[in-house]
Amino acid sequence: MSYLPFVRLGLRLCRGGGPAGLVRLVLQAAAVAFGAFVLLATLAAPGVAERQDGRIGDREPVLAASAGTAGCFKLRTVEDNVGSRPLRRVAVWNATAQSPRPPGVLAWPAAGEIVVSPALAELIGDDARAAARFPQRVVGVVGPAGLVAPDELLAYVGVPAAEADRAGGAQCVERIGTQIRHRGASWTGAVEEVLRPAVLVPVGMAVFVLIPLGIFLAASARLSAATRERRLAALRLLGADARQTQVVNAVETGAVAAVGAAIGTAGWLAARGGTEQLNLGHLHWFAEDLALSPFTVAMTTVGLPLYAVAVATGAFARLRGNPLHAFRNAASRRPALLRIAPITCGVALLAGAAALPATRAYWALLAFAAGLVLTAVGLPLVTPLLVQTMWQRLNRRPGLPPALRIAGRRALASDGAAARLVATVGVTLFAAGIGLGAAEHVRLAESLATPSAPAQLKLTLDGAVNPTVLDALRATPGIRGASQYEYASAELGAEQRADVMIASCADVRGLFDGAEACSPERVYRLHINSPDFAGEPQLPAGTTLRLTPAAETDCPAARTVVAPADKLELTPKLYADRPYQLLITTAANCTAAQTTTVLLRNEPPVLERARQILATQAPASNVQGFLGTTQGLGGATVTVIIGALMAITLLLCLAALVVVAVDRLIERRRLTAALRVVGVPRRTEAAADMAEVALPLVISAGLAMAATAGAVHVAIDITGVTTRRFGEVLLIQVGLTATAVVLLTAVVYVGTLLRTSSEDLRRE
């Protein structure tokens, strides 16, 4: 038998149904359109990190395994910042026309020239700090292929080879471009193996976006479920078999969902180009980073209508048996016990993650992530089962108030709209609790890992700098000292060693107080007055030491030194890196010093001036110290991302609430008419409506809070970061629950204002 007439009937039903049918049509199409837009944005998010990592790999230098020839092409990357914006400065020397180049760079800059990103070029023109850092002539602009994001601050700085080689440590560059791969746990450690975008993004998207999106789409697919069920039952009574009825249902639902999916997909493709102006914290991206393959777009456009059809087909499965079910208001089928499987597995995984020892942190974090997702999936599945069980037990009790009796009978005979309503609230509470807990955890972990800003700063540079740089630093107000020195290890015999400093007296005075008696080209025994080195053994006079300085040093010439009687008592101006026991002074600065140190007051103008001097006169030197530069995402950015995900969750769940609430208001006219026929007072009607929603809401909220409490405590056990603000998270959940109660009360109150027409009474 041909199904074509039933396909046509399904299409006609899309257009029919009167005002209520039109509301349902618009709501369902809008819901699927919004869902398609959110789903495409969610699927595109992981691709941003992947493409940005790819561009980083394309510009990464591959260093030669051997030392290479003299004058070979070299690069050195220096992490810097201008204000709160990270800055990447790459020193370039010995470059030729044949030297390999990264994408986006047409030619390497010569000494005194720079090639900058568009954002940095704009900043140099607008910000005096950036202009002071880069007085060189701009000879090129980095193209998009060589940038991580449109706002990246990147500069390739040409430097003289003689100045760059002072810093030492740079190897010859063999080629540009290496595919960055995530190292295994043996390199990063177990925690870092899991705490990476490839794992965090899917887990975050699943908890905050995909599960609420599934609930939202399922709610929209079941709009006017009771009315549609009666209509399909009428088709069964007119002679259509179960399969033909399902064809009508599938075509009616699928056609509306297909229109909505097409609108949402078109909206996403049109809006993607404007996302380049958006940001999350300091995270930006190119519009092309959000590109999806045609296959993914096609699967989304086709998959969402299929999902809606599957939900609608399952919702009306009981019509395959007795079509009179829809007219007798018979009790709906009890939800399958299989619904408890996801949340049971999720709780078991969370408990297992907490029970694993610290040495199995990798597996503990994986189990925690999987348990979190399964718990979020299980909450909306198990809520209808618990709600129906509650009503069944209440209805067995004698002497139940009429409002509760009506609410219970109505809930057992309905399609579960109230249960879906409160399940949506439960998922919202769980996602909000997890998001707030994660944000607090990140904030606390960052505060523990980040030291408080000291009053005095110590900047350390690898290698030496030009003496004129030291003079400029020493002449800057607020800088207490600028020194460079050589470290050597001395053998004392019997596997004992001594730490030896080789420096000029001026450099020693820049690091220590008490060096006024220092004379050049002398040897002194040292005693460092510092609590860090209390109890360190002193070097006896007359001890013979065999020095083993770095191979590239040119000072001192002597390799064997006898500890003299002369001794200096030195006190570090800030702190010493080693308990030096011997000092060898030179007539001037060592031209191959291993370390350059700058001591300064922690004041923004002083720090900015020091960084300007180093950026302009020693651009190839890598500066280390407390610079206030954000590395990685940073706690603020992570909090912004979590906030954005929570906003999406709240938006999806609010949309689902609106869809279900509007659908329930429309259906309530029929239910109210039945009560009016038998003379039920209006006050009892309102109380029954409130009870039908409020009691399941208590179950859903309690379940969500218990799941949140368990997940947060497991996270504390795994990471060891304890938060004392967990009570605030639960209070916020209570506040959200109260808000949901107020909103649902308002919906119920609006429903009581609807008038029941004589036609409704006649039909009942």
Model pTM greater than 0.75? no
Question: Domain containing 124: what range?
Answer: 61-177
pLDDT at 193: 43
* CA triple 160-170-621, angle to 5 deg: 60
Q: What is the pLDDT of residues 551-588, one digit of tens each?
A: 444 555 556 788 888 889 999 988 788 888 888 888 76
Distance between CA atoms of 10 and 232, rounded to whole angstroms? 11
Is residue 735 domain-resident?
A: yes
Distance CA 124, CA 119 (A): 9
pLDDT for 191 equals 42
Domain membership of residue 253 (yes or no) is yes
Find tokens 């975008």 and name the residue: 197
Answer whether residue 184 is part of any domain: no
Among the three residues 598, 624, 650, which one is the final residue of a domain in this structure?
624
| 458 vs 574: CA distance, rounded Å | 7
The reply to whether 488 and 617 lie within a common domain is yes
Regarding whether 518 and 433 lie in a shared domain, the answer is: no
547: which residues sit within 8 A by CB, 6+ positions away?
488, 489, 490, 500, 556, 558, 559, 560, 561
Torsion angle in degrees (nearest 10) through CA of 647, 648, 649, 652: 120
The pLDDT score that the predictor gives to residue 400 is 84
Low-confidence ranges of the chain (pLDDT < 50): 180-195, 198, 327-328, 550-553, 761, 764
Is residue 594 located within the same domain as residue 726?
A: no
Q: What is the 3-state secondary structure (H, E, C) of 28-68?
A: HHHHHHHHHHHHHHHHHHHHHHHHHHHHHHHHCEEECCCCC
Residue 205 domain flag: no
The verdict on 357 and 429 lying in the same domain is yes
Q: Are residues 579 and 530 in the same domain?
A: yes
Answer yes or no: do 380 and 495 share one domain: no
> Same domain, yes or no, for 276 and 346?
no
Looking at 591, 624, 657, the residue that finishes a domain is 624
R_g over Cα of the chain: 36
Q: Quote the tokens at residue 704.
A: 């969500």
Q: What string of DSSP letters covers 192-261?
A: HHHSSHHHHHHHHHIIIIIHHHHHHHHHHHTTTHHHHHHHHHHHHHTT--HHHHHHHHHHHHHHHHHHHH
Strand partners of residue 457: 600
Helix (H) or strand (E) holding 133: helix 128-133
Domains contained in the chain, number: 4
Burial grade of 645 (CB within 10 A; 0-12, 13-18, 19 or more): buried
Q: Residues 74, 172: contact at Cβ < 8 Å?
A: yes
**Residues 53, 66: one domain?**
no
Specify the pLDDT at position 187.
34
Q: Is residue 598 part of a domain?
A: yes
Strands of 438-576, DSSP E:
456-462, 479-493, 496-504, 512-513, 523-528, 544-549, 560-562, 567-572
For residue 404, count other CB atoms closer than 10 A to its CB.
Answer: 18
Instruction: Identify whether 618 is part of a domain.
Output: yes
585 φ, ψ (degrees, to nearest 5): -95, 150
Domain boundary among 604, 624, 644: 624
What is the rounded CA–CA span in Å between residue 286 and residue 147?
9
Q: Do 24 and 89 belong together in one domain? A: no
Residues 422 and 315 in one domain: no
Assess if residue 200 is contained within a domain: no
Q: Are residues 671 and 590 in the same domain?
A: no
Query: Is 600 in contact with 442 (CB distance < 8 Å)?
Result: no
Same domain? 510 vs 578:
yes
